[in-house]
Chain A
Amino acid sequence: AQKVTQAQTEISVVEKEDVTLDCVYETRDTTYYLFWYKQPPSGELVFLIRRNSFDEQNEISGRYSWNFQKSTSSFNFTITASQVVDSAVYFCALRGAGDNKFYFGSGTKLNVKP
C-alpha cells in the first residue's frame, strides 16, 4: 500500500528561524517519486520538488533543502531563515512508477510569525 505520513499537524516559528517538515512514506514499489507541494491560503498547490527513488542526493534551492533517506523512508523538507511568506500548508506526496495516482500526506501547516 502507498502511504504518506506527515506527523506534524501544525508548526509555528518566528521569522528567520529554520524549520524542518517531516515526511515518512510507505511503498512496495522499487521505483517511485516523492514530491513536496505548498498550498497558500488561496488554495492552489504549488509544486516545489520531485525526487525519484534512485536519486538520494539531497537538494538545495535557495532557502529550501530536502533530505531524502531511503533507509528510513523519509523525505524531509527544511526551510532556512523562514519568512512570513512561507506560511502555508505543505504537503508531501508519493507516486508510484506504474500508478498515476498521487498519495498525499495530511499536510503540515506552517505559521511563520514576524
Chain B
Amino acid sequence: GAVVSQHPSRVICKSGTSVKIECRSLDFQATTMFWYRQFPKKSLMLMATSNEGSKATYEQGVEKDKFLINHASLTLSTLTVTSAHPEDSSFYICSAYQRLQRTEAFFGQGTRLTVV
C-alpha cells in the first residue's frame, strides 16, 4: 500500500511554544490530507481537511488560529500547534488521499504531542 510518513513520532514541548508536524505522502500525490486528533482511549476526531493549494477546512469547534494547516504541495501537509498548552497534548494523526486513484486513506504513524 501507499506510504504516508509523519514526523516527528513523538515530541515534548514547553507550554507556550509552537510545534510543527509534517505529513508526507511518499509514493503518490495526495490531493487531500486529513488531520485527526485522538484522545487516550478515544476515537479519531477529524480536525480539518486540507486540499492542495487551498485553505484548510476546519471542523466545528477546532480553532484554526491555533492549529495552522498548510498543504503547499501534493506530497506535504503540515500542522502547526501554536502556543501549545497542556490540554493540546494528544495523539495527532494525518491521512492522505488521492481522490481519483484511491478510495482508501493511508495514515501516517501518528505524532504523540506532550506539552509540559
B18 CB-CB contact with A under 8 Å: no
**Can you name the residue of chain A whose Cβ is closest to the Cβ of B10?**
A43
- The interface on chain A, measured as residues whose beta carbon lies within 8 A of the other chain's beta carbons, has a size of 21
A35: B residues at CB distance < 8 A: 104
A77 CB-CB contact with B under 8 Å: no
Number of residue pairs across A and B with beta carbons under 8 Å? 53
Q: Nearest Cβ distance between residue A2 and chain B, in whole angstroms?
A: 11
1/0 contact string of B91-116 vs chain A (CB within 8 Å): 10101010100011111111010000
**Can you name the residue of chain B whose Cβ is closest to the Cβ of A37?**
B107
B74 CB-CB contact with A under 8 Å: no
8 Å CB interface, A91-114 against B: 91, 95, 100-107, 109
8 Å CB interface, A33-61 against B: 33, 35, 37, 42-45, 47, 50, 52
A101: B residues at CB distance < 8 A: 34, 46, 49
Distance A13 CA – B46 CA, assembled complex (angstroms): 31
